[in-house]
Chain A
Amino acid sequence: MPCFHTAGATMNQSVFRLTLPILFGYLPLGMAFGVLFTTQLDYPWWAAPAMGILIYAGAGQILAVSLLAAEAGLLEVFIAMFVLNARHLFYGLSLLGQFQGAGWRKAYLIFGLTDETYSLLTSRGRSADRAHEQAVDFRITLFNQCYWVAGCALGALLGANVVFNSTGIEFALVALFIVLTIEQYKSLGDAFPVFVGAAAAAVAILVLPPAHQLIGAIIVVSVVLLVQYRKLRNSPETEGARHG
């Protein structure tokens, strides 16, 4: 079926063009993770691309390096990874309709819903042919994960084979979280949650041992946001202004 192949090749070309910006983001960030992984930890290098295949989360995997280094308990690992990726809970909400009826592709589309894939899938132009668009969505997701895994593997090999003093390279995690905070603040236009998060962390650092600081701060943040929610609900005036 030469006709089928031609259509597939054309689709691959246009998907490649569409995902090019993500290639330029994922290769270096994946490499940063890979270098961190092999320079900070004693595990075999191929575990880094394996994490890219199975976990497939940028900030999550970089956080995982520091959790692995601290030999964190598995419950803490679960909570830390879940909360770090909690923003994904809200991505799916806007794609419920778009992924409907995607059949076998749907599980992978959901699995591969990273920040970058989400922003591409929700911003690209779409035709009325839903089945075709879902096939394109699937390839976009697959291409993006290939870039990410390639970056993880390259970085891990580099870190394992090139001798250099990597002391302090773990600051990449802090820098990443600062950048993500600024991006969240800019898209929200409201500094309140940034202050709540930083203040909750400060309180947790002061009163809790390191092993419980993340969970403690997360509980404080959740309580403050619930209180804020109830306050906004009880004052319809503010609610109107917020949406107006």
Chain B
Amino acid sequence: MADNGYLAAFIMVATVATFATRVIPFLFFHKHTEHPLVRHLGRYLPAAVMALLATVFLQRSASWNNTLPGADALLPAILVIAIHLWRRNALLSIASGTIAYMAILQLNLIQG
């Protein structure tokens, strides 16, 4: 599986894609910063994309044929939300949720 050619191509593509998002405004947008469509997307797109990614990857972390379908991932996710609303410390929220999920999987706390 360790195909270093694939890794090199992957890193190159990821580098170009990431840099593109940072440089495009400086290349093309300087005349359109006040365009209402640009402002509209700037306002709503980031939140929508984050919710989209959270949902897709949450679903992939869950086992749906357990006795409690999806609970192995949904419970840690609820913990992340609760701790983040409580303390608003990103690292604390991420660490608690990840440790909870690892414990559920490794100790088989939710029987399959």
Cβ distance B91 to chain A, nearest Cβ, rounded Å: 5
Known: A81-B13, A184-B50. A178 touches B102 (CB 8 A): no
B20 within 8 A of A: yes
Known: A43-B7, A93-B25, A171-B61. A217 touches B56 (CB 8 A): yes
B104 within 8 A of A: yes
Within 8 A of B (CB), among A146-186: 165-185
Please report the C-alpha to C-alpha distance between residue A168 and residue B61 in the assembled complex, in whole angstroms. 8
Interface size class of A (residues with CB under 8 A): 35 or more
A86 within 8 A of B: yes
Can you name the residue of chain B whose Cβ is closest to the Cβ of A83? Answer: B49
Within 8 A of A (CB), among B64-85: 73, 76-77, 80-81, 84-85
B21, B80, B97, B104: which has the most chain A beta carbons within 10 Å? B21
B98 partner, pick from A66, A172, A184, A202, beta carbons under 8 A: A172
Please give, as numbers and ranges, the residues of chain B lying within 8 Å of A63 by CB-CB distance. 53
**Interface of chain B: mostly helix, strand, loop or mixed:** helix
B17, B73, B91: which has the most chain A beta carbons within 10 Å? B17
Cβ distance B31 to chain A, nearest Cβ, rounded Å: 10
Please give, as numbers and ranges, the residues of chain A lying within 8 Å of B58 by CB-CB distance. 174, 177-178
Cβ distance B47 to chain A, nearest Cβ, rounded Å: 4
Please give, as numbers and ranges, the residues of chain B lying within 8 Å of A185 by CB-CB distance. 47
A78 partner, pick from B16, B49, B54, beta carbons under 8 A: B16
Please give, as numbers and ranges, the residues of chain B lying within 8 Å of A90 by CB-CB distance. 25, 38, 41-42, 45-46
Please report the C-alpha to C-alpha distance between residue A111 and residue B23 in the assembled complex, in whole angstroms. 7
B15 within 8 A of A: yes
Known: A83-B49, A86-B46. A77 touches B29 (CB 8 A): no
A136 within 8 A of B: no
Cβ distance B13 to chain A, nearest Cβ, rounded Å: 5
Please give, as numbers and ranges, the residues of chain A lying within 8 Å of B23 by CB-CB distance. 92, 110-111
Cβ distance A165 to chain B, nearest Cβ, rounded Å: 6
Additional pairs, 20, CB under 8 Å, beyond known A43-B2, A89-B42, A196-B48: A63-B53, A74-B10, A81-B17, A85-B21, A89-B25, A90-B25, A93-B25, A93-B38, A96-B25, A168-B102, A168-B106, A171-B98, A175-B80, A175-B93, A176-B94, A180-B50, A200-B48, A217-B55, A225-B45, A229-B36
Spell out A's residues near B (CB within 8 Å).
25, 28-29, 32, 41-43, 47, 50-51, 54-57, 60-61, 63-64, 66-68, 71, 74, 77-79, 81-93, 96, 99, 106, 110-111, 113, 165-185, 188, 190, 192-198, 200-202, 204-205, 210, 213-214, 217-218, 221, 224-225, 228-229, 232-233
